[in-house]
A and B are shown apart, each in its own frame.
Chain A
Amino acid sequence: MANFELPNDEVVTIPILTTNSAGAVEPPPAGDTFTVTSSSASLGVAIGTTAAGGPAVVMTPMVQLSPGISVEVKDSAGLTAWTQLVDIVADVTPTNIVLDVADATHTAQPVPTAPGP
């Protein structure tokens, strides 16, 4: 499975599901509670909830770049744990237009004759 790429300017919420031996999604056992751990302090992890109220893992990047972080999700019922590799990456998706004033360059021209409004 490919690593999950997490842009460093996003906090992501990922739903936790439970499946039976055949791989079909089933509700977790009654009273089941989940725990999550991160192999690196570069990625903060916690158990949260989805908008629908289901269990979820919330991942918060703490650094700008950090590849190969292992996130493990366990539960109190002893289901087979899930391990997810996460890469914290720079967000390369453009969303805004900005003018780079600091890097502007100048060329000379004659002074315009119009004095201005």
Chain B
Amino acid sequence: MDRERESPNDTVVAGPSDDPIIDENGLAFRLERGDRVTIDGMATSDAPLATELVYISRVVWARDPLGRWWPRKHTGQWGPPTNDSPLMRDKLDKILQQLAEITKMLAMLLQRTQGRIVLDLQDATSRPQPVPKNPGP
């Protein structure tokens, strides 16, 4: 497990990345939600699905449907999952939650900066009033 690499300065990204991830061995790979976290020696049918992904620097953590996080080692292998490490699991859950909140805030900010107010003149309604006595400027 790469706990020593999870310093506050590490880059944290959630979800599939647009660019392939390059691990420290120079091996490029891409992982999407729904991909199987395949571990050597584990039959494919038994491999857990990745429901969420968090990248901490170049280490990928994939969450399976049971809520366990699987780290991708530098060798390309997966595991072990965090079911034996509740602290690590809670930390990753919290990161994912924070990233979701940031995404929501960014969406709101985008709405604020690019949304507009419009007067719907087509649907205007009117009611009569007496003509003002003031003729105007």
Contacts and interface: CB of A to CB of B under 8 A. Distances in A.
Given A8-B132, A63-B134, A34 B124 contact: no
Contacts of A23: 116
B126 A64 contact: no
A72 to B, nearest CB: 9
Interface residues of B, number: 28
A63 B137 contact: yes
A2 to B, nearest CB: 10
B134 A64 contact: yes
Interface string B123-135: 1111111111111
Contact of B116 (A18, A63, A66, A91): A18
Contact of B132 (A12, A19, A64, A79): A64
A10 B114 contact: no
Interface residues of A, number: 45
Q: For chain A, what secondary structure do more than half of its interface residues adopt (helix, strand, loop), or is it mixed?
A: strand
B66 interface: no
Interface in A62-117: 62-66, 73-75, 77-82, 84, 88, 91
Contacts of B118: 16-19, 25, 82
Given A64-B136, A77-B112, A82 B131 contact: no
Contact of A15 (B124, B134, B137): B124
Interface string A31-71: 00010000010100000001100000100111111100000
5 contacts: A11-B126, A14-B124, A63-B132, A78-B113, A82-B116
